[in-house]
Chains A and B, each alone.
Chain A
């Protein structure tokens, strides 16, 4: 699975959009981009995933660049409850499915 690079931490004002970047320059054609988050003392929570098209669901939007070497997770209106560690994971659909979590980005939403 391709390696991902994320900033260690970010701050965001409550009510503003939070844009979390992820670099995955070695991504292969069959690899998906997944985002999970982990709120303190809880298990990870799935947010969204995509292959090459931009995706949106009730939680977030995922923007993947045309060359697929980077992506951005967007939380349109961040709340204090969105404070968490956000993990960007790149994984092929053909492997056993284990997720390789890096250090992620710690997002602090401030009032």
Chain B
């Protein structure tokens, strides 16, 4: 199985700043990694996927990096807004990615204050 660690359970930043969330894994390097957003009492919502051969992926104000040497992914939200406040989860597939299961980190709760 895979052990996934996401930095600090909570992150508080001021509106307009860049939020940086970390996802570290300890065992095998996955073929890809996904990031999800989860609001209280709601189901997670997919945001971005980055493959092992990609260093960086962007989508609007979101940027994800993937460093297989460090076994780490960084998730950035630039020009953060209060509406970005949520819990962000990283997810990795099982070894070989053929079994279909995704392992999720426990998430980082982001709060963006005005």
- The answer to whether A and B interact is no
